[in-house]
Amino acid sequence: MAPNPKNKKGQAFRKNKKALEGYMKYSGMGVQMALVIAAGSFAGLYLDKYLDSKPLFVVLGSLGSVFLALYLFIRQLLAESPPEDQEEE
């Protein structure tokens, strides 16, 4: 029996679609990290101008937002991964 060319195209399409969904998911996470860090930095800059202080709040806002972005990223990764005690069947 000859292989069905439509079946091969369907399998390739599903494989490419799954890869594309992974790229979109992780690029979205990267954009989220960048936005959180930018928001923290700009909030610190605003506070420094408002309170007429030196770069104290820019540094605190930047560092705090980096830690927050990493926390959110790791939390999303752990929420998507299956538990280790479940065996794949």
List pLDDT tens digits, range 24-53: 888 999 999 999 999 999 999 999 999 998
Q: CA–CA separation, 32 vs 26, rounded Å?
A: 10
Radius of gyration of the chain (CA): 22
Query: pLDDT per residue over 2-28, tens digit each?
Result: 555 566 666 766 777 878 887 888 899
Out of 20-24, 25-29, 70-74, 82-86, least confident range: 82-86
Q: CA–CA separation, 78 vs 89, rounded Å?
A: 21
List Cβ neighbours of 57 (8 Å cut-off, separation of 6 or more). 43, 44, 45, 47, 48, 51
| Residue pointed to by tokens 């060319």 | 5
Q: Is pLDDT above 70 for 71?
A: yes
Q: Specify the pLDDT at position 54.
A: 86
